[in-house]
Every structure is written in C-alpha cells, then in structure tokens.
Amino acid sequence: MTTNNKYENLPFKLTLDIPFQCQKHIDIVLKSSIVTDELINIDNNIQSETSMGDINKFVIEYFTVENVLSLRFHSIDIRLLRLISNNLIENVKLSIECIDEFQ
C-alpha cells in the first residue's frame, strides 16, 4: 500500500510492521490501543477506516497484510513523531501483554 504523497506536508515518517499470531489479535490491538487512543483522537482530526490524525500535524495510517499490522506515521516535527510513536508502541505492548495473559 502506498501513500501516493498524500501527506507530503508531513516530512517525517516512520513505518512499523508488527507480526501477530492471528487476525483476531490484530483486531484486539486496533480496538484497544490505536483507534481509541486519546492522544490520537483529537478535535478537528481526520479519521477513516485506515488512517487518523490531524492533517496539519500528524497522521497514522494502519492496515494489515496477512497477520502483520503495519503502522505508518507521518509528522510535521520529529519530536511529535517520537511522542506519537512511543505512545502507540507502549499501548500496543500493553495490549499484547493482556492477550498473552488471557490465552
């Protein structure tokens, strides 16, 4: 999946590919860590089935290929990119720990 320079005004980018055992785990992580994150779900944001954020500051695209969750971060500032990505990684980590604990 390509972004086609859709976010060319956001020069800093990071891509994370996180493998999972099954699609169900990806759905759990998306619902518990990414789609509901208060840092991401801000006023005046864009949100679609595969992306969210503030088009003037940052955007996170997410999609799955087989059992891999791909996250693409686009940001106007390197510090904001670090903040958003670190927060999301911590949330994903917590979700994965919960999945492991209850299985």
Q: What is the CATH number of the domain that holds 79?
A: 3.30.310.50
Q: Where are the alpha helices (DSSP H) in 11-102?
A: 23-29, 78-101
Asked whether residue 17 is domain-assigned, the answer is yes
Mean per-residue pLDDT for 59-73?
A: 91
* pTM of the predicted protein model: 0.79
Total domains in the chain come to 1
Over residues 80-93, mean pLDDT:
91
Asked which of 19-23, 49-53, 60-64 is least confident by mean pLDDT, the reply is 49-53
| Residue 96: inside a domain | yes
Is residue 2 assigned to a domain?
Answer: no
Q: What confidence tier does 33 reach under pLDDT thresholds 50, 70, 90?
A: confident
The band of 4, judged by pLDDT with boundaries at 50, 70 and 90, is low
Domain of residue 96, residue span: 12-101
Above 90 in pLDDT, residue 47?
A: no
Give the span between the Cα atoms of 99 and 25, in whole angstroms.
7
Q: Indicate whether 87 belongs to any domain.
A: yes
Check residue 84 and report its DSSP letter. Answer: H
